Structure 1
Amino acid sequence: MTQATRPLEQQPRAIVIGASSGIGAALVEGLAAAGYQVAALARREARLQELKARADRLAGAPRVHIYPHSVTETDVIPALFQQVVADLGGLDLIIYCAGVMPEVRPDEYDFAKDEQMVRVNLLGAMAWLNQAAIRFSRTGSGRIVGISSVSGDRGRRGMPAYHASKGGFSIYLESLRNRLTHQGVSVTTIKPGFVDTEMLASATSGGKFWVISPEDAARQIIQAAEKGKQTVYIPRRWGLVMLIIRHIPSVIFRRLSF
């Protein structure tokens, strides 16, 4: 039996938040091709329509359901979560990859930008993944995945609020994992380095190396989710790099230019 002909009741169900471009869009395409029924959520409806057409064509069957949504509208999330799960006929996997990283000058302290990063990168994630945690803890199964960043491993000089939002997200996911692990629920923290996305293209500061494609990142994320991994650096070499960075003494770290 092929993925395209698998009965609907046997198809795993996934939600991807932040799906209109980059890693999120690649995840929707990869999951649909792997046989998932996928709910794709993002602000840009036109992008979602294009994504659905492309992913359904690649999958050879209609697999993608789209929902225009801004993660900053946290008051609608509980009802929207229930609607999406009902439309899918259940839920096996949820991936939160919505994120923003506006350009911040070295001498800039713009609270509006800081607030936007915290609301999208952290609070929106908590609002969505709390709903998934409630459901999965009741059913005794499920997979939660959060796309954090290597930027959350230590507070570096540039963009304090971005590092804080990603660091907070990583700690939230770790706490969620410790709470849910004995209830049959896996929680995976993904920490990418540089991925060839619109967000990276708009960043004008800092060097960029070891850049990977969204498709390569999505492939590794899906593998990590299905294996129930805990923390995964993408690409893997970032794990060693960040281990070293985390252990640099503060007196030295403050003198570094990054």
Structure 2
Amino acid sequence: MNQNLSKTVLILGANSDVAKQCIKQYAKKGFSVLAASRDIKSLELFVNENNLASKVNVLFFDSVDFDSHQEFYNRLSTKPSIVVYAAGFLVQNEQAFVDFKSTQQMMMVNYMGAVSILNIIAMDKTNRNLERIIGLSSLSGVRGRKSNFVYGSTKAAFTTYLAGLRQELASRNIKINALVIGYIRTKINEGLQLNENLIMEPDYVAKYIVNAGNSFTIVPNFKWKIIYWILKLSPEFLVAKLP
């Protein structure tokens, strides 16, 4: 018998390209999947097209409607063993400088919404099934760079939150993973001029999420691992010269 048949994974922001691949891979591994998103019609279409209706329950979840988060969690039919926060929103620096509403939306989706719902989930000590929380962060949050530091700051904040949450939950043996991700061929990156040699496919990234181990920081792809360490270790005067 598959040991995952009795386990439930909750995917928040489940309509993203990477999250959809996670749904497929978790279902294949025998998990029951709670797929939560604002766009439930699109998600239901995806589930039906992939014959996943028997394994996936589609739920409405708005990451920026903070007041609804406690009720959303309370109404879950089964409390999760694994939680994946995959919700994300991106505007480029040029827009972020002049359009604060979009900037605020980015802050709320990428950081504030995550803290709101994950605090609720993490502090529920009655859920003895909870064993792992995974957050999708970004290489953009490793160091502040001229080209994307507004977006990057939201991801840096999220990574820092996850690092502290890891310490908070260590005594309960709950694992925390931060996926520090580079370019992916997804809707959020459409129209951007990106290096094709560095672009990862959503299903490739999803494998790292679904098979996450004990390491806190997970950087998919060896090329991005090299870039990650260059960014981490470079002195500030060199980082300042990067685009």
Q: What TM-score do the two structures reach when normalised by structure 2?
A: 0.91
Q: State the 1:105 CA deviation.
A: 2.1
Q: State the 1:247 CA deviation.
A: 2.2
**Alignment match, 1:217:** 205
**Alignment match, 1:164:** 153
1:106–1:16 distance in 2 versus 1, CA, 3 Å: closer
**Alignment match, 1:16:** 11
Q: State the 1:113 CA deviation.
A: 1.9
Q: Within 5 Å, give how 1:1-258 maps onto structure 2.
A: 1=1, 10-55=5-50, 57=51, 62-84=54-76, 87-88=77-78, 90-105=79-94, 108-135=97-124, 139=128, 141-202=130-191, 204-205=192-193, 207-224=195-212, 227-256=213-242, 258=243
1:137–1:181 distance in 2 versus 1, CA, 3 Å: farther
1:44–1:191 distance in 2 versus 1, CA, 3 Å: same
Q: Which runs of 4+ in 1 moved over 3 A?
A: 106-109, 205-209
46-55 vs 153-162, which moves further: 46-55
Letter in 2 for 1:185: I
Q: What TM-score do the two structures reach when normalised by structure 1?
A: 0.86
Q: State the 1:235 CA deviation.
A: 1.6
Q: State the 1:107 CA deviation.
A: 9.0
Taking only the aligned residue pairs, the percentage that are identical comes to 23
Q: State the 1:180 CA deviation.
A: 0.8
Letter in 2 for 1:235: N
Unaligned runs of 5+ residues in structure 1 are none
- Separation of aligned partners in 2, 1:73 and 1:246: 34
- Separation of aligned partners in 1, 2:204 and 2:67: 34
Q: State the 1:166 CA deviation.
A: 0.2
Question: Over aligned residue pairs, what C-alpha RMSD do you find?
Answer: 2.2
Superposed CA deviations along residues 3-49 of structure 1, whole A, max 9, x for unmatched, are: 5xx8xx94210100111131111111111111111111111121111
Q: State the 1:52 CA deviation.
A: 2.1
Letter in 1 for 2:45: E
1:217–1:193 distance in 2 versus 1, CA, 3 Å: same
Q: State the 1:192 CA deviation.
A: 1.1
Letter in 2 for 1:83: R
Contact 1:21/1:47 (8 A) holds in 2: no
- Separation of aligned partners in 1, 2:95 and 2:146: 8
1:13–1:205 distance in 2 versus 1, CA, 3 Å: same
1:78–1:107 distance in 2 versus 1, CA, 3 Å: closer
